[in-house]
Amino acid sequence: MPTATLEERPRAETAAWRKIVEQYETPSTGRALWQLADTLGPLVVLWGLMYWSLGVSWWLTLPLAVLAGLFLVRVFIFFHDCGHGSFFKSRRVNDVVGFITGLLCFTPYHHWRWEHAVHHATSGHLEKRGTGDIWTMTVREYQAASPRRKFIYRVARNPLVLFVIAPVLLFLVYQRFPKRKAGKRERQSVHWMNLAIVIMVAGMSAIFGFKNYLIIQVVISAVGGSMGVWMFYVQHQYEDAYWEHGDEWDYTAAALQGSSFYKLPRILQWFTGNIGFHHIHHLSARIPNYNLERCHRAQPMFQEVKPLTLLSSMKCLTFRLWDEQRKKMIRFDQIQDPRPQPGQVAG
């Protein structure tokens, strides 16, 4: 992580990185169309192969569904960029493509866009948790919680629940219902998406058979959802992540210190649409995925962010709580007992 936040840098240097970021915020219609072609094209082919494989063996169908799940992660990144208005120059085109890619991901476009905007505006802010993020308690909150709440939290943070069960429920069930705080357009987007999903499921069931389609779709959603949730988790739940209270919270620091640089092998970087450059994405959500790496390499300051590798990111699986005193994520067994030890005086 950087030794100083960007706001602590000389003003001239801060102005320089802002100008660099602005250079990469302009969407490219050609690059966006190419990304849609190199992803949706193979996805259509995979569905065709899955249909053919049903007459041969499920041992062929299931690996194809797993591969389709990886492509779905990339589709979600396009959906994500549309939500930020960064994929295409035209807002209308972003909305149309966002709805279509959202349908493939079972995610209502306007409702998700609203939640995700809240996430960007509040990431790392301890007083504004709860919308578009992963449930994270501080050590103090956990120690003060009731046994029932502690149990629920431990279950929610269990890797099996977080990365296997929750993703399927999130995309296939949870996204079917609007949040109470959602506006009229956001609530309507959920209902329209639900209707579109019913039509799509009916059509695909007529082709594949309902049982076959259900199994394939659940596998695809499980693989894509698990990988997507893992990416989001690693981007904000690593050991030296950034969390602050009230006036001490800083947007720029939250971006560079509270959003990881996840350095993945090239093939995984492709499937995840460069979102591993998450520190750049949180500096400016207007940068389309196809410009993130170029922006990262354009400014030495950005490259000071210590990368997480595929191997080192596995440690993130153990983190459960934010320790306000040590300013880092910790495991449950690292909680310090607040009671005085023998020979110590309380106070």
| Domain spans of the chain, in order of start | 6-331
> Which tokens hold the place of 164?
């296997």
- Report pLDDT digits (tens) over 287-310: 999 999 999 998 877 877 889 999
Name residues whose C-beta falls within 8 Å of residue 69's C-beta, 6 or more positions apart in sequence: 219, 220, 221, 222, 223, 224, 227
Within the chain, residue ranges assigned H as helices are 11-23, 29-53, 58-84, 91-104, 109-122, 139-144, 147-156, 159-160, 166-172, 184-208, 210-236, 251-258, 266-271, 278-283, 292-298
pLDDT, residue 344, reads: 44
Cα→Cα distances 231→12, 52, 54, 195, 311, Å: 34, 32, 31, 29, 14
Q: What angle, 0 to 180 degrees and rounded to 10, lies between the N-to-C axes of helices 184-208 and 29-53? A: 40
> Which tokens hold the place of 176?
């079917």
241: left (phi over 0), alpha (psi -120 to 50) or beta: beta
- Report pLDDT digits (tens) over 44-95: 999 999 999 999 999 999 999 999 999 999 999 999 999 999 999 999 999 9
pLDDT, residue 16, reads: 66
pLDDT, residue 66, reads: 97
> Which tokens hold the place of 101?
């890619």
pTM of the model: 0.90
Q: What phi, psi does 251 have (nearest 5°)?
A: -60, -45
Which of the residues in the chain have pLDDT under 70? 1-17, 337-347
Residue 160 CB coordination number (10 Å): 9
